[in-house]
Amino acid sequence: MTSTQRTSFPRQGVRETAIAVKTRFQSASDVLSDCLEEIARCEDKIHAFNLVLDNQARQRASEIDDLIARGIDPGPLAGVPVALKDNICTREIATTCSSKMLERWIPPYNATVVAKLQDAGAVIVGKTNMDEFAMGSSTENSAFGPTRNPCNLDYVPGGSSGGSAASVAAGFVCCALGSDTGGSIRQPASLCGVVGVKPTYGRVSRYGLIAFASSLDQIGPLCVNVGDAALICEVIGGYDPRDSTSIDEPFSGLLDSCDKGVDGIRVGVVTELLAPASPDVQAAFTKCTDKLAAIGAKVDEISIPELSYGLAAYYLIAPAEASSNLARYDGVRYGLRVAGQDVESMMRATRSAGFGPEVKRRIMLGTYALSSGYYDAYYGQAQRVRTLITKAFGRAYESFDVLLSPTSPTVAFGFGAKQDPLDMYNSDIATIASNLAGHPAMSVPFGLGANNLPVGVQVMAPTLGEAVMFQVGAQIEGLAQ
Ligand code: GLN
């Protein structure tokens, strides 16, 4: 096999697998063995995982098989192999954030999403590679080496949830969880040709998600199809008293929305998010909107000039929050400790050795934006822009049910292609606004662009608008076939 061939094809999805296991067509242990075999065959080339949980997963799969043998329903994800981004805490299992700082840190507790997946019968297969502390758009910032895109190994998988996207695209697992602060689920989903969903801020508990920028972070699924992603959202979502920003609203009925069609649905194409896309991405995107119009959606263009300021506001707010959140890695409480003569030199040595260049850059940017004398000009101003963006979205959603754009302005790029940090930051141009507003958004694969690499269409919806988002996403998926 040459390095440019696709390494694998998507395995059967979440729902098919759960049905196969529940009806005893296939045992959970056999499903897992297939998964582990595929990982053994291709993981060397892809590096989707920081850790594969061979033994624990086998034990869990046989527990599921025992339950079924005794006539007990293990839940909607019976025997479904799932991977977790390595910033989601797993009890007694290393959780590194792909950073030297946490390389040997073992969390004493499970994130709420992990408990929910396990209660639903899922089998956790491993922890996936990512940009260090979720800062990046290519997974090149991992302290443990990059992940490769299973569609073509010469290209990045996107980031920061690159390992999660690659583990699904390679057919290693049916589903992976990622986290999305400025696009880190949707952009890698787009670049690897899978579905990725960022739910409304507060719909999925952040308890046990290692914080990057707490007012923007949200956990969500990456799957091979839209319906599977809807099911996973239903399983991992819902109120959690352990997350003070959790929304106390039911998160259900999403799967039903996938069958509703788009007749009469008002779809707005956002000029400011389409314009920066490359011609190949624009061509695939336009094909998608033409087809949506042909099946009854009312497609129109809308200009939301405020969105042009999203990137600048995000790259002040996210680093500001990160500089505060990452202050806890002081050599005393978590992970790495490098000895020093006194406390200050120990902390300096620890933080110098433990953090990679991008994380240090963000901490410096954030500390600067929050420092007295600059706070109002940078952080305060960015927060005002954030409010303007939320208000502008509000006006747009008076005329439209969903808004559409390409997820990423380009298809996957090559390793080392974006050396200037600003080039890399531009990958997030279309995804960031939904995080700033706290809105849900998803990426659905639609066609191919340059070098036969996947293009993703982003469907955005207002707060708690997941139902209509999935409704449109499912139709786009159908039109892409
Ligand atoms: N690429 C963006 C960043 O580097 C978004 C990351 C994310 O969503 N975690 O900050």
Pick from 471, 349, 305: which is nearest to 402 by CA?
471
Instruction: Set out the domains of the chain in order of their start, with CATH numbers.
Output: 14-264+402-479 (3.90.1300.10), 308-384 (no CATH)
**Helix, strand or coil, per DSSP, at residue 427:** helix
Residue type, 229: A
Q: Cβ(182) to ligand 1 under 6 A?
A: yes
Residue 372: per-residue pLDDT = 85
Q: How many CB atoms lie within 10 A of CB 334?
A: 15
Q: Cβ(318) to ligand 1 under 6 A?
A: yes
Q: Cβ(212) to ligand 1 under 6 A?
A: yes
148-161 per-residue burial string, b: 16 or more CB within 10 A, e: under 16: bbbbbbebbbbbbb
Among 184, 427, 434, 443, the one annotated catalytic: 184
Q: Cβ(134) to ligand 1 under 6 A?
A: yes
Among 27, 29, 85, 161, the one annotated catalytic: 85
Is 184 in the active site? yes
Question: Could you tell me if 307 and 392 are in contact, meaning their C-beta atoms sit under 8 angstroms apart?
Answer: yes
Distance, in Å, from the CA atom of 280 to the CA atom of 277, rounded to the nearest integer, reads 8
Residue 12: per-residue pLDDT = 86
Pick from 167, 202, 161, 164: which is nearest to 182 by CA?
161
Residue 1: per-residue pLDDT = 38
Distance, in Å, from the CA atom of 458 to the CA atom of 406, rounded to the nearest integer, reads 5
Locate 133 and state its tokens: 């502390």
174, 225, 369, 422, 450 from 11: Cα distances, Å = 7, 11, 46, 36, 25
Among 98, 160, 257, 405, the one annotated catalytic: 160
Residue 11: per-residue pLDDT = 65
Q: Which atom of ligand 1 is nearest to the CA of 424?
A: 1
Residue 4: per-residue pLDDT = 42
Q: Cβ(29) to ligand 1 under 6 A?
A: no
Is 85 in the active site? yes
| Ligand 1 geometric centre to CA of 188 (Å) | 11
Per-residue pLDDT of the chain (481 residues; tens, 9 = 90+): 344 445 554 568 999 999 999 999 999 999 999 999 999 999 999 999 999 999 999 999 999 999 999 999 999 999 999 999 999 999 999 999 999 999 999 999 999 999 999 999 999 999 999 999 999 999 999 999 999 999 999 999 999 999 999 999 999 999 999 999 999 999 999 999 999 999 999 999 999 999 999 999 999 999 999 999 999 999 999 999 999 999 999 899 999 999 999 999 999 999 999 999 999 999 999 999 999 999 999 999 999 999 999 999 999 999 999 999 999 999 999 899 999 999 999 999 999 999 999 999 999 999 999 998 889 999 999 999 999 999 999 999 999 999 999 999 999 999 999 999 999 999 999 999 999 999 999 999 999 999 999 999 999 999 999 999 999 999 999 999 8
pTM > 0.95: yes
Q: Cβ(160) to ligand 1 under 6 A?
A: yes
Residue 250: per-residue pLDDT = 86
- Which among 97, 137, 212, 407 is the best mutation to test ligand 1's pocket, defined by most ligand atoms within 8 Å of the CB? 137
